[in-house]
Amino acid sequence: MKCGLIGLSTVGKSTIFNLLTKGNVEVRKYGGGTADEPNVGVTTVPDPRLDFLTYTYTPKKHTPATVEFVDVAGMVPGKARDGGLSPTLLAALREVDSLLHVVRCFAAEDIPHPQGSIDPARDAELLDLELLLADLAVVERRIERLTSDLAKHALDNAALGEKELALLHRLHDGLEAGTPIRAQLLTEGEEHLVRGYRFLSQKPVVVVANIDESQLGADNPAPELAAYAEEHALALVPLCGAVELDLARMDAADAELFMADLGIEESGRDRLIREAYHALRLISFFTVGEDECRAWTLTAGCSAVAAAEKIHSDIARGFIRAEVVGFDVLKAEGSWNAAKTKGLLRLEGKEYPVRDGDAISFRFSV
Ligand SMILES: Nc1nc2c(ncn2[C@@H]2O[C@H](COP(=O)(O)OP(=O)(O)OP(=O)(O)O)[C@@H](O)[C@H]2O)c(=O)[nH]1
Ligand SMILES: [Mg+2]
């Protein structure tokens, strides 16, 4: 699972990246949005269910689910229209599965805002427009190419080419009308046809409102941005990046005092990871045993064979069946073997849609 942090420049992307990855990665400075190699860091997903399994099995190793975060340079509005986004930035963003869109809501007069004023809803819209325009450029290039190939009878499968062309025209019109591909409701077949383009506006998004210290504990700390997020059906997580980063670097006792003082109930880091997980429709399944208890990340609705693929391509290729038991049953029975003795393990095939909390053992032969 890879998640990209995007936003205009100096909105706090690297601060929040540091918070999420616990600052173990040296964060590069981008001179006013100049493209550079992205910062990459991995963080573990807190999960009390894995803690329980580890406690029960005392395995040699326990491995939480991880999310990889990618922190890129700030986007400069207007660049995507001329195809001016840097290839490094585009390549990094195409690779991620989802986006955390950081929007500056904090004031800080000593930190100049590239647009000259603090206006979170305007900024969010500007950035979303960049994503649309980046996709539009890809769609237009592809339409041109396909049209020419079809005219020259240069395609092996002209019917498929025609189908793709029709779809691209539809996406094009949608994008021009301001609708991200995410909201254009593709069928599974259509989705498959254009999957290779890895459109930016198709990726699921969580908006992170990087709020001012003065707004900590407020009910609705960024009302205009909240309205924008609601209108566009986007999840919104408000947090104060600078304060949360300080908090994450304190020892537990100090952090507790500090949080009580500021009216923060849960660390922003845990909350952001949890809410992002939820908003991005991610679930966890587990593999358990004396050697290792491990949580794996999967998109909700994925099949058992897709889950197998996460572990090893051989397991997916040689998939015979999956033995499955839900976490709650496993917890109630106390162990995999106890559940097995009671006949509570289910045998599922390749197409079984994995549920959050399933513990799975795969039978396969290669
Ligand atoms: N007051 C305040 N300052 C913040 C907050 N979050 C980040 N900053 C400051 O804003 C400045 C920019 O933060 P970065 O995290 O580097 O922002 P960025 O989006 O990664 O910037 P670029 O990579 O240059 O686009 C730094 O000086 C941060 O300390 C916040 O919540 N409150
Ligand atoms: Mg940065």
Q: Are 241 and 210 in contact (CB under 8 A)?
A: yes
Final residue of a structural domain among 156, 186, 201: 201
Final residue of a structural domain among 176, 201, 226: 201
In total, how many domains does the chain have?
3
- 331, 312: one domain: yes
Task: Out of 3-12, 27-36, 124-133, 335-344, pick the least confident.
Answer: 27-36
Residue closest via CA to ligand 1's atom 27 equals 111
Nearest ligand, CA 7: 1
pLDDT value, residue 24 = 57
- 41, 176: one domain: no
pLDDT value, residue 229 = 97
Q: What is the mean pLDDT of residues 173-184?
A: 97
The answer to whether the CB of 221 is under 6 A from ligand 1 is: no
Task: Point out the ligand 1 atom lying closest to the alpha carbon of residue 72.
Answer: 23
Question: With the CA atoms of 294, 276, 279 and 103 taken in that order, what torsion angle do they form, in degrees rounded to the nearest 10?
Answer: -170
pLDDT value, residue 274 = 86
- 24, 108: one domain: yes
- 93, 237: one domain: yes
The answer to whether the CB of 18 is under 6 A from ligand 1 is: no
Q: What CATH number should be reported for the domain holding residue 41?
A: 3.40.50.300
> What is the CA(97)–ligand 2 centre distance, in A?
20
Q: What is the mean pLDDT of the chain?
A: 91
- 218, 270: one domain: yes
Task: Out of 43-57, 92-106, 158-172, 223-237, pick the least confident.
Answer: 43-57
Q: Output the six-digit token pair for 217.
A: 């504990």
- Near ion ligand 2, which residues have CB within 5 Å? 13-14
Residue closest via CA to ligand 1's atom 11 equals 10
The verdict on residue 291 lying in a domain is no
Exposure class string for 205-242: b at 16+ Cβ within 10 A, else e: bbbbbbbbeebbeeeebbeebbebbeebebebbbbbbb
Nearest ligand, CA 241: 1
The verdict on residue 112 lying in a domain is yes
pLDDT value, residue 83 = 72
The answer to whether the CB of 284 is under 6 A from ligand 1 is: no
The answer to whether the CB of 39 is under 6 A from ligand 1 is: no
- 99, 213: one domain: yes
Q: What CATH number should be reported for the domain holding residue 154?
A: 1.10.150.300
Q: What CATH number should be reported for the domain holding residue 333?
A: 3.10.20.30
Q: Is the pLDDT of residue 243 over 60?
A: yes
Final residue of a structural domain among 279, 309, 329: 279
pLDDT tens track for 286-329: 999 889 999 999 989 999 999 999 999 999 999 999 999 999 99
How far apart are the C-alpha atoms of 79 and 205, rounded to whole Å? 21
Task: Out of 48-62, 225-239, 262-276, 330-344, pick the least confident.
Answer: 262-276
The verdict on residue 125 lying in a domain is no
The verdict on residue 250 lying in a domain is yes
- 170, 196: one domain: yes
pLDDT value, residue 33 = 44
Residue (of 3, 79, 89, 1) closest to 38 by Cα position:
89
The verdict on residue 294 lying in a domain is no
- 246, 142: one domain: no
Domain extent, residue 324, equals: 301-364
pLDDT cut 70: percent of the chain above it: 96
Query: What is the Cβ-side half-sphere exposure of residue 122, based on CA atoms within 13 angstroms?
Result: 8
The verdict on residue 174 lying in a domain is yes
Q: Which residues 6+ apart lie within 8 Å of 163 measured at CB?
A: 193
The verdict on residue 109 lying in a domain is yes
Question: With the CA atoms of 153, 156, 162 and 168 taken in that order, what torsion angle do they form, in degrees rounded to the nearest 10?
Answer: -110
Q: What is the mean pLDDT of residues 153-178?
A: 96
Residue closest via CA to ligand 1's atom 12 equals 10
How far apart are the C-alpha atoms of 125 and 118, rounded to whole Å? 13
Q: Is the pLDDT of residue 32 over 50?
A: no
- 16, 160: one domain: no
> What is the CA(253)–ligand 1 centre distance, in A?
26
Q: Is the pLDDT of residue 265 over 70?
A: yes
Q: Are 292 and 364 in contact (CB under 8 A)?
A: no
- 253, 188: one domain: no
The verdict on residue 284 lying in a domain is no
* Residue 22 or 14, more confident: 14
Reported confidence tier of residue 217, pLDDT bands at 50, 70, 90 = confident
Q: Is the pLDDT of residue 133 over 80?
A: yes
Mutation test of ligand 1: which of 9, 14, 29 has the most ligand atoms closer than 8 Å to its C-beta? 14
pLDDT value, residue 30 = 57
> What is the CA(98)–ligand 2 centre distance, in A?
18
How far apart are the C-alpha atoms of 201 and 254, rounded to whole Å? 41
Q: DSSP secondary structure string, 173-191?
A: HHHHTT--GGGS---HHHH
> What is the CA(349)–ligand 1 centre distance, in A?
48
> What is the CA(231)–ligand 1 centre distance, in A?
27
Task: Point out the ligand 1 atom lying closest to the alpha carbon of residue 241.
Answer: 31
The answer to whether the CB of 241 is under 6 A from ligand 1 is: yes
* Residue 198 or 57, more confident: 198
Task: Point out the ligand 1 atom lying closest to the alpha carbon of residue 9.
Answer: 25
Q: Is the pLDDT of residue 132 over 90?
A: yes
- 220, 191: one domain: no
- 111, 240: one domain: yes
Nearest ligand, CA 74: 1
The answer to whether the CB of 10 is under 6 A from ligand 1 is: yes
